[in-house]
Chains A and B, each alone.
Chain A
Amino acid sequence: EVQLVESGGGLIQPGGSLRLSCAASGFTVTSKYMTWVRQAPGKGLEWVSIIENNGAAHYADSVRGRFTISRDTSKNTLYLQMNSLRAEDTALYYCASGQGFLTPLWGQGTRVTVSS
């Protein structure tokens, strides 16, 4: 079955770090563009980052320099390393994938709460 399963969310203090994972099945993470999108409580969708199938990475201005997207082919998993976390990073983080920038496949999300 083709699916994405996120994990790694939790409660973290401001300034802390967290690594989110997104395990893919039914396809290889290097064959698709892999994306992170977040949704703050009660708010809309916000694009965070994307890694192209050639490895090129792009980031939203709000996270550039703090977040790093990467993938592990041996584990067929996408990651989002989040450093210097802020209260405004609190959100449900979705992993998504597709051909190019379009994202037809989404995971169920993992929740990140940044609070002291």
Chain B
Amino acid sequence: DIVMTQSPDSLAVSLGERATINCKSSQRVLYRPYNVEHLAWYQQKPGQRPKLLIYWASTRESGVPDRFSASGSGTNFTLTISSLQAEDVAVYYCQQYYTVPLTFGGGTMVEIK
């Protein structure tokens, strides 16, 4: 199974400041024929269902604000919120969708400092 490890577990950032979340996969999740990383990021606000933010490691889902960006390749990936807003308080999960069993990171809780 591909193990997804996120860091940190939690993060407190001042409004308007940058938040960075890391995700490491135990194996590569690159689909070579299309040269795309099968890595997604989800946001889950308190009491709500998860929402897809990013797929193919760096492509924003439609409607996601451009303060959310992501990058990475190989086994190391990053989600960045460039200027934290109050509505961004949530738990963020990375997920590999390269192969079953699909696996999620443990989550990173982002709070306001």
Listed in ascending order, the chain A residues whose CB lies under 8 Å from chain B are 35, 37, 44-47, 50, 58, 60-61, 94, 100-104, 106-109
Q: Is B33 engaged at the interface, CB distance under 8 Å to the other chain?
A: no
Interface of B (DSSP majority class): loop
Beta-carbon contact of B102 and A50 below 8 Å: yes
Task: Return 6 A-B CB contacts under 8 Å, by A number.
Answer: A45-B95, A50-B102, A101-B100, A104-B61, A106-B49, A106-B51
Listed in ascending order, the chain B residues whose CB lies under 8 Å from chain A are 38, 40, 42, 44, 49-52, 55, 61, 91, 93, 95, 97-107
Which chain A positions have C-beta within 8 A of B38?
A: 101-102
Q: Given A35-B102, A44-B107, output 9 extra A-B contacts at Cβ < 8 Å.
A: A44-B91, A44-B106, A45-B93, A47-B102, A47-B104, A50-B100, A94-B49, A100-B97, A108-B49
Which chain A positions have C-beta within 8 A of B61?
A: 104
**Pick the contact of A102 from B50, B97, B99, B105 — CB < 8 Å?**
B97
Cβ of B5 to closest chain A Cβ, rounded Å: 12
Known contacts A50-B100, A101-B100; A45/B107 CB under 8 A: yes
Docked pose: A47 CA to B43 CA in angstroms: 16
Docked pose: A101 CA to B97 CA in angstroms: 5
Which chain B positions have C-beta within 8 A of A37?
A: 50
Cβ of B96 to closest chain A Cβ, rounded Å: 9
Docked pose: A61 CA to B102 CA in angstroms: 11
Beta-carbon contact of B101 and A44 below 8 Å: no
Most buried by A among B55, B93, B100: B100
Q: What residue of chain B has the Cβ atom nearest to residue A35's Cβ?
A: B102
Which chain A positions have C-beta within 8 A of B55?
A: 102, 104
Beta-carbon contact of A107 and B49 below 8 Å: yes
Beta-carbon contact of B101 and A106 below 8 Å: no
Docked pose: A1 CA to B8 CA in angstroms: 37
Docked pose: A102 CA to B61 CA in angstroms: 12
